[in-house]
Structure 1
Amino acid sequence: MSQIDVRAEQQYYAPKKGVHDLVHMGSWSNKSGLDEMMDFYDDMLWQSFYAASLSPSYLNRQPYGFLVQDHSIYLVQQEDAYTDNLDAALDLGIVMLHFSAVASQWAGQVRWELSPAAPDGLPEGLRPAAVYHM
């Protein structure tokens, strides 16, 4: 007889985060200048972040965000107790694909640099997964 332990866990997982929840300007948690930078809803950069915000992630957790700093966009991975390394890597790849699919219409081919050095002002528990230089 097998030793199977079945555990049911019921929790409510948050709905999708919007662009203003995912994108930070200059330093983590700073939102000032975000609307001005993206020139509201017509801007291709806003559309790229919007596409990224709609990308699927494991349990809809979206354990990532973007940091815009010095003409670079960092995709930042956040620690998440529900997301293991394999699911996190898949989530990051999907969000990069969604961002790139829209941004490439504006900027040509979008190339992400993986595992970049950490930008200034990144808090403990966050790590840069990729960077796109505009």
Structure 2
Amino acid sequence: MDYEKLIEQRQSLRSFERKEVPAAALADLQTYFAKTERILPELGLELHCAAGSGTGLEGIAGYGGNAFSAPLYLLLLSEEKEGWLENAGFVGEQLFLKLIELGLSACWLTLTDGAATKRALGIEGDKKAAALFAVGYGKAERAETRLDIDTPANVKVDTRAGHIAPKISEQALFYEERFGQESEFIEDQFDPFLDKALYAASLAPSFLNRQNYRYLQSGRTLYLLDAADAKTCEEDRCLSLGATMANFWLVYSKYNANAYRWELGGTAEPEMQLPADYSIAAQLRLF
């Protein structure tokens, strides 16, 4: 799969044609799911496909309870332990990109009530609902139609050509050595592989496009920093962290065959000068 191309193509479409998703596409998706990369490979995951209009999901899943009436819903179930939602976001983003390759459209849906969502979709089992997608053949949306973004005052947001939803710029996303110190990305001086991976990470989805996380390189390690957001619940925030980690790693590992894996958690050093509300969500050894 050409992940760089798919990441640039991704859009979260919320209006779908009345057309069934072929069984062959679902079989292909399940085969791919079994091979997806994981942050926590020891966790048991299941992918369930459920046809339906979404009427049973109204009020328990989606943006403000709106499930967007899709012909198909994908529900990712997981064992629950520390980091399970970040792991689900990491896998879910890979599934999203595979759907694009299959010519399908999708959008992440907030799980307001995971247990009720399982019941509405007729899914049983002990694993918890971790991530939900509305899937189908999307209707094109007008370029000027986008979600309102209420960002903190110090967050720079750029509108990228070809993307309906604005994303944070790569320069504002990444710091060197200490929090707030932006990189100049000077050609021939900045790691080109890291540059490509950070660009992919900047295009990752997040709830209402908040993108409150930041990346910071200190020495040989890249840190993913996270801060609580009053408008984003913990579940959506953790899924978003997993999604941006996936985009970064899928591209970085393409150019670096010996790329290290993400590790969740970590302790900040004083010289990083992290604000009180930020902590280390994950870290990755670069070299």
Aligned to 2:283: 131
- Structure having the higher helix fraction is 1
Note closer, same or farther for the CA distance 1:27–1:93 as it changes in structure 2 (3 Å cut): same
Note closer, same or farther for the CA distance 1:126–1:98 as it changes in structure 2 (3 Å cut): same
Query: By how many angstroms is 1:80 displaced?
Result: 1.0
Corresponding position: 1:12 with 2:154: no
Aligned to 1:107: 256
Larger radius of gyration: 2
Specify the SS of the correspondent of 1:131: strand
The one of 164, 168, 174 equivalent to 1:23 is 174
Corresponding position: 1:76 with 2:225: yes
Identity among equivalent positions (%) equals 33
Structure number with the bigger relative contact order (C-alpha 8 A, sep ≥ 6) is 1
User: CA deviation digits over 1:48-71, x for unaligned, max 9?
Assistant: 000000011111100101011011
Corresponding position: 1:67 with 2:216: yes
Corresponding position: 1:52 with 2:201: yes
Q: 1:12 is matched by which residue type in structure 2?
A: D
User: CA deviation digits over 1:64-101, x for unaligned, max 9?
Assistant: 01011011100001221111110011000000000000
Report how many aligned residue pairs link the two structures: 124
Q: Distance in 1 between matches of 2:251 and 2:277?
A: 29
Q: Distance in 1 between matches of 2:188 and 2:231?
A: 32
Q: Distance in 2 between matches of 1:119 and 1:112?
A: 18
TM-score of the two chains, using structure 1 as the length reference: 0.82
Gaps of 5+ in 1: 1-6
Query: By how many angstroms is 1:119 displaced?
Result: 3.2
Q: Distance in 2 between matches of 1:37 and 1:74?
A: 23
TM-score of the two chains, using structure 2 as the length reference: 0.40
Query: By how many angstroms is 1:44 displaced?
Result: 1.4
Q: Distance in 1 between matches of 2:188 and 2:225?
A: 19
Q: Distance in 2 between matches of 1:38 and 1:119?
A: 29
Note closer, same or farther for the CA distance 1:29–1:105 as it changes in structure 2 (3 Å cut): same
Gaps of 5+ in 2: 1-63, 65-146, 152-165
Q: Kindly indicate whether the alpha-carbon contact (under 8 Å) linking 2:220 and 2:285 is maintained by their aligned counterparts in 1.
A: yes
* Structure 1 stretch displaced more, 124-133 or 104-113: 104-113
Over the aligned positions, Cα root-mean-square deviation in angstroms equals 2.3
Q: Distance in 1 between matches of 2:212 and 2:187?
A: 24
